[in-house]
Structure 1
């Protein structure tokens, strides 16, 4: 099980996040996620999603379909996909396109998101330290964003001043 502590400028509360992947087939698994909001002392997010990965040469793709419960929007469904291409031959720089659509339980309201981003991974930046830098553009909100990840720490920020930080336990 993967666990992390998360904090964002919007929520102003520490959240404990957990994720478990259960292998179903060699390229398909059930991903179960949950989040405990320490401000309210209860779950703020629960989801179960079937995810399939496609890995033809020089390409990485995934498709997911699932159900989620969010304390604000209640029960809903989600479809997500991601496609990545190497930019350099050593695959340290990649170009990714990703999208997501959340739909309410009655299949009436939907919220779509999509982004295009470049990702640069530097393994052994220093001894036992890996670093990844992402620079992207959210095509729905029309907002540039960035991510810096160093081993267990991840910081996300966009030009509108939204930010969050995550520590993987």
Structure 2
């Protein structure tokens, strides 16, 4: 199980996130993940999703159900397509999108982004770094991510940020 501690710019408490991937076959897995708000002691959300990877097309697709305390139950669909910029795939151009559909079949929170990702293996001894720079189409905002081994910092040009530490 993958666990992490997360803190965002618009939160007053730390969140504990857990994710488990259960293999279905070599290209498909069931992904279960949820979050516990340490301020309230209650779960923030729970999600179950079937994810399939198409390696010949460097594409992933996921469909699932998401439950949270505010928006209740909803269905979600997400996809990502990766285009290698270099032959070694350390620099890629990615297109990704997500659509949530509520119980009344209304679309909620559409997301779509285009980004460049640069993976630097052994930046220093035992230190891997990933840098992402992208643009979120629906919010119309540039964003960036810096990941160093267990630490991840995400930020956008509207001043929102979050920090994650993988346990």
TM-score by length of structure 1 reads 0.97
**Aligned residue runs from structure 1 range 125-164, under 5 A:** 125-164=123-162
| Paired residues, number | 167
What is the correspondence of 1:45-124 to structure 2 with a 5 Å cutoff? 45-56=45-56, 59-124=57-122
How far, CA to CA, are the matches of 1:53 and 1:21 in structure 2? 13
* Residue 55 of structure 1, CA deviation: 0.5
In the TM superposition, what are the counterparts of 1:23-62 in structure 2 within 5 Å? 23-56=23-56, 59-62=57-60
Per-residue deviation at 1:60? 1.6
Cα displacement string for residues 42-68 of structure 1 (whole angstroms, at most 9, x for unaligned residues): 100100000000101xx4210000001
Q: What RMSD over aligned residues (CA atoms) do the two structures have, in Å?
A: 0.8
Q: Which runs of 5+ in 2 are unaligned?
A: none
Q: Which runs of 4+ in 1 moved over 2 A?
A: 108-111
For 1:112 and 1:4, the matched residues in 2 are separated by 25
Relative to the length of structure 2, the TM-score reads 0.98
Conserved? CA contact 2:99–2:107, under 8 Å = no
Cα distance in 1 between the residues matched to 2:6 and 2:108? 26
Deviation at 1:33, TM superposition (A): 0.3
